[in-house]
Amino acid sequence: MAAPMELFCWAGGWGLPSVDPDCLAVLTYARFTGAPLKVHRVTSPWRSPSGHLPALRTRDEGIISKPQQIITHLRKQKYNADYDLSATQSADTLAFVSLLEEKLLPVLIHTFWVDAKNYVEHTRKWYAETIPFPLNFFLPNTMHKRHLERLQLIWGDDYMEDEEKLEKELYREARECLTLLSQRLGSQKFFFGDSPASLDALVFSRLAPLLKAKLPNGKLQQHLKSLQNLCNYCTSILSLYFPWDGGDPLTGVPRAAATDGSEAEEDPHKRRKQLLSVLVGLVAMLGYAFLSGIVSIQRGSVGPAGRQPVALEEEEEEEEE
Amino acid sequence: MLIHTDLLRRMLEVCLSNWAFCHLGPQLISHLCKTGAAVLKAMGRIGNETVKGSLNERPEGPELAAEPWPENAALYQQLKEEQILLSDNASSLAVQAFLQMCNLPVRVICRANAEYMSPSGKVPFIHVGNQVVSELGPIVQFVKAKGHSLSDGLDEVQKAEMKAYMELVNNMLLTAELYLQWCDDVTVEEITHPRYGSPYPWPLNRILSYQKQWEIRRKMKAIGWAGKTLEQVLEDVDQCCHALSQRLGTQPYFFNKHPTELDALVFGHLFTILTTQLITDELSEKVKNYSNLTAFCRRIEQQYFEGHEKDSATIAARSSKRPLLR
């Protein structure tokens, strides 16, 4: 209990503390339970100890990477948001989590990462701007391919090839899933009464990016916005548990501050890089100059420069003779 | 037309297996398995296309609701004695239970290439009039369009819970069954490989089952189950059964008085797990820990399957383990 655990997660954006649903789920759960976590918001998975985000560095058990395992670990450390739930409510949690994972999450991945317009204009742009050089050239594309392959395996080839069928059936089921969640929530503050549970963390983490991101092709988003109780639910959790991180809808001021901060962080590296490149250029120029004899130091200049023309003349004379 | 495709298929299999015998090479084998499976799929689809009407469209509109349920509706699955696997048997039993609960008569027809005949590649599928529909979800909607529904009496919150619990069964129980029969090496070697390709000659049977295994393993990796051990999978099954048991409580059905499609689905999976003999008894032991679930299975079986002698589900009720499904 002495040293806090460290969590590495994706940086925030679009008004959220983190843009990735898995990272957001873990963060929200930690906030709900008041677990003391030191949060590192990193901009690339290479900075995390395990190479994947989210990653939790614990004191005794090494590094845990899967969000479900992180939540289980927090629960073992006595930070349990489901403590007050009855047995039926725990069973319901399991069922609704399955519903989210099966029906909603693949369609969300499709909306953000595979749908051509959204991916190019929104997701890739954000990731390319946030991830530092030189990873930003290939990392978004790698992530895109990984998500595409995952969807292909889950849904099968005929859905991926037939856009209309995909739209009609899978998006319809996702909309139905959102409506079902809305009906289950009703007018309650959280899914199981007045205090939040792990199901709330998961639902919030899936819905919040969909709600907040400015997607160009946003049919699913429009359906979510039409479900008023879910929108209120997300905004209330944001304002209650993340008031200074992402609750501010005006992205201007915090964004500017964030970019200044990130620039200041990168500044020593930037300066160093500039200095290094200038030095290398200078050394290369000088070295070439010396080696080819264009520039020479006073002491040695007369000798070699003088001897060579003399040697040439001698050769010419010899040849002539 | 289905008979003709059967004949063509058999001829093709013989040719393919002879060819494979002569020209065994790694590239040729992979090419062979791809063409073999593709041809079989095409055969299945040709069989389907001859059936007039749409293949996999959702039935909508009043024109289909007007048609009553015909007497010769058929449900296709793989061969019961030698070929069918745990997960497919569970799905098929769930659909049969659902149709029984709706009082809709259906004949069960066993075909070796049922998987390839199906429009979505999954068994079981039903052939009703001139429509072919596969998997429980679409079948429920199809039956609803015909005017029969089990979940009309539920309110909105209950419908949400029902859908959620159906997804729970699909997500945990079905995936665990698939894991056990395709990713657990002992089970794969002794049960799955011999059963899956049993109607086909060597080497087609081996090729098809290796191809299916590779496909399932990739899918497991995509959903994050590849890294799980057998103990963790059994632990998940236990959690799922615990949740179902909690939800059922002491009620006769999940939504008190009347059975719904959730009851059919749970029955299909749990009954199959309880009555299938695998290498070890661990999976069925997990289910047996919850007495209300076993009582639930027995109750549904007595009520809906008792009258049909030819349905081997009834025979299974007498003995706890049935050696028919190895």
Confidence of residue A267 (pLDDT cuts 50, 70, 90): low
Has residue A279 got a pLDDT over 90?
yes
Q: Give the CA distances from residue B16 to residues A121, B6, B11, B37, B272, in Å, rounded to whole numbers and listed in that order.
A: 49, 15, 9, 11, 35
Does B159 lie at the interface with A, CB-CB under 8 angstroms? yes
Per-residue confidence (pLDDT) for residue A281, from 0 to 100: 94
Between the ranges A7-16, A37-46, A94-103, B27-36, where is the mean pLDDT highest?
Answer: A94-103
Check whether residue A39 and residue A151 sit in a common domain: no
Assess A89–B contact: CB distance below 8 Å, yes or no. Answer: no
**Residue B214 in tokens:** 């590779």
Instruction: Name the pTM for this structure.
Output: 0.74
Where are the strands (E) in chain B, listed by range? 74-77, 107-110, 125-128, 131-134
> What is the maximal distance between C-alpha atoms in chain B?
64
Domain shared by A120 and A186, yes or no = yes
- Band (pLDDT 50/70/90 cuts) for residue B280 is confident
At residue A245, does pLDDT exceed 90?
Answer: no
Neighbours of A65 (CB within 10 A): 18
| Per-residue confidence band for B15, with pLDDT thresholds at 50, 70 and 90 | low
Tens digits of per-residue pLDDT, A172-216?
Answer: 888 888 888 888 888 888 888 888 888 999 999 999 888 888 888
Residue whose C-alpha is closest to residue A242's, from A8, A25, A28: A28
Residues B83 and B214 reside in one and the same domain = no
A-facing residues of B in 256-315 (CB < 8 A) are none
Report whether pLDDT(B40) > 70.
no
Q: What is the pLDDT of residues B86-137, one digit of tens each?
A: 999 999 999 999 999 988 888 999 988 888 888 888 888 999 888 899 889 8
B244 touches chain A (CB under 8 A): yes
CA angle A190, A196, A199 (to 5 degrees): 80
**Is residue B19 assigned to a domain?**
no
Q: Which domain CATH number covers B139? A: 3.40.30
* Domain coverage including residue A102: 92-242
Domain containing B145: what range? 74-150
Pair of tokens at residue B15: 């040719």
> Which chain B residue has its CA at the smallest distance from A87's CA?
B246
Whether B222 and A87 lie within 8 Å, measured CB to CB: no
Whether A163 and A224 share a structural domain: yes
* Domain CATH for B218: 1.20.1050.10
Number of structural domains chain B divides into: 2
Least confident of A26-35, A50-59, B207-216: A50-59
- Do B205 and B298 belong to one domain? yes
Are B139 and B262 in a shared domain? Answer: no
**Residue B317, token pair as written in the block:** 């009720």
Contact A181 B218 (CB under 8 A): no
Q: Are residues B146 and B228 in the same domain?
A: no
Q: Which pLDDT does position B319 carry in this prediction? A: 33
> Does any domain span residue A128?
yes
Query: DSSP readout, B165-201?
Result: HHHHIIIIIIHHHHHHHHTSHHHIIIIIHHHHTTTSP
Among B150, B171, B193, which residue terminates a domain? B150
Judge if A228 and A99 occupy the same domain: yes
Does residue A175 contact residue A181 with C-beta atoms inside 8 Å? no
Which residue of B160, B224, B247 is in closest CB contact with A91? B247
Residues of chain A with Cβ-Cβ distance to B254 below 8 Å are: none
A149 reaches B (C-beta below 8 A) = yes
CATH number for the domain harbouring residue A11: 3.40.30.10
